Amino acid sequence: MTTGAYYTDRYTNRLLDLGITQAAINEKIIDTWERLFTDKDPDLQIYFETADGMGYVVDTGNNDVRTEGQSYGMMMAVQMNNQNVFDRIWHWTKTHMYMEQGIHAGYFAWSCQLNGTKNAYGPAPDGEEYFAMSLFFASHRFGDREAPFNYSEQAKAILRRCLTKGTTNDGHTMWDLDNHLIKFVPEVDFSDPSYHLPHFYELFGEWANEEDRSFWKEAAKRSREYIDLAAHPITGLSPEYAFYDGTPNHIRGFGDFFSDSYRVSTNIALDAEWFNDQKTPVEVIDRLQLFFKDIPMTDYRRYKVDGTPFEEPALHPVGLFATLAAGGLARNTDLANKYVTSFFEMPLRQGDRRYYDNCLYFFSLLALAGQFNIYFPKNT
């Protein structure tokens, strides 16, 4: 029997299973949302609104707005059933980040200044895939309206461009059309293991344009295989950049386990929760949790994938711990449960680097509470 939430519409509430009351869980989720998305706590706030009805999520460590953060904010908003925040972020994104001209026309500029000026004219595929999934969920939860709030059509258009830009000699696709793997950026022939979201691709395979659906179904299979391939067989550590055979790609020094890599654990856990596919490499979570179990969060560092530490400390230790805890959604072991209970008592990160840590924190909190959910079309 298939037991994933896609089939059963039942979500694991690991926090409740471990004796935390539903009232305490709900209170923490609301408090976290308010601290990040309102002025309740200026030292933690990452979302800001503009006088013209739009909004943006700030990467506080770099003082810019990124497609990563905007798409994360949209996913958080739709999960929290907050259409106002969702629409404000999407409106800002379409107004300032969408590229109308040039080789990347139809994609979104990965970084902008807080006033909307583009810092770069290149895209980052992790933003596009989160935009598309968030827009589908918004369509199913809020209902489509006039452009740019015709959410489902916007999502389909993004995914169509991701697969066709390179076929007319005026750009590059975001996925390799032969091996079905997402690229780090469209112009390169390597990947980022943390970009791989097979649980999203399964749904794209149902909701994208009909001519694209078979590609996305195959992409889900290939990404599960790739996540397993890229993770070290003993430590479970994945590099930030990896070649298509899964080996680390050290170009620009990104072949080690560092900030991007942390997301792999949460991605595996959500894939297992939503689809419970036998090919989802949940054993990677076991290896990661075992590797870090005796390392204090204050001692987290950059690591080679074989576990050799560098002197360089982790930029986002709270984010790393949060994703290790999120793995407990898929692994009901004593060690996993220790991560989960410790995580629930852990505060959000303050300071300039808080953005990335607290995004990973909030996703982990929603997932462990059984509130990082699939939203289906209303007529299904």
> Residue 198 and residue 202: Cα distance in Å, rounded?
6
Crossing angle of helices 125-142 and 67-79, in 10° steps, is 20
CB within 8 Å of 231: residues ≥ 6 apart: 193, 237, 238, 264, 281, 284, 287, 305
> Residue 71 and residue 19: Cα distance in Å, rounded?
33
260 is known as an active-site residue? yes
> Residue 131 and residue 125: Cα distance in Å, rounded?
10
Please name which of 87, 243, 269 lies closest in space to residue 179, comparing C-alpha atoms: 243
> Residue 314 and residue 300: Cα distance in Å, rounded?
5
First to last CA, the chain: 21
CB within 8 Å of 299: residues ≥ 6 apart: none
> Residue 175 and residue 253: Cα distance in Å, rounded?
23
Burial class for 352, CB neighbours closer than 10 Å (0-12, 13-18, 19+): exposed
* Beta strands across the sheet bearing 55-59: 47-49, 55-59, 64-66, 111-112
Torsion sign over Cα 35, 33, 196, 304: positive
Which residue in the list 64, 260, 273, 277 is annotated as catalytic? 260
Which residue in the list 68, 202, 256, 357 is annotated as catalytic? 68
How distant, in Å, are the alpha carbons of 167, 188, 312, 348 from that of 172?
8, 9, 35, 38
Q: Determine how many CB atoms are found less than 10 A away from the CB of residue 123.
A: 25
Residues designated catalytic? 68, 260
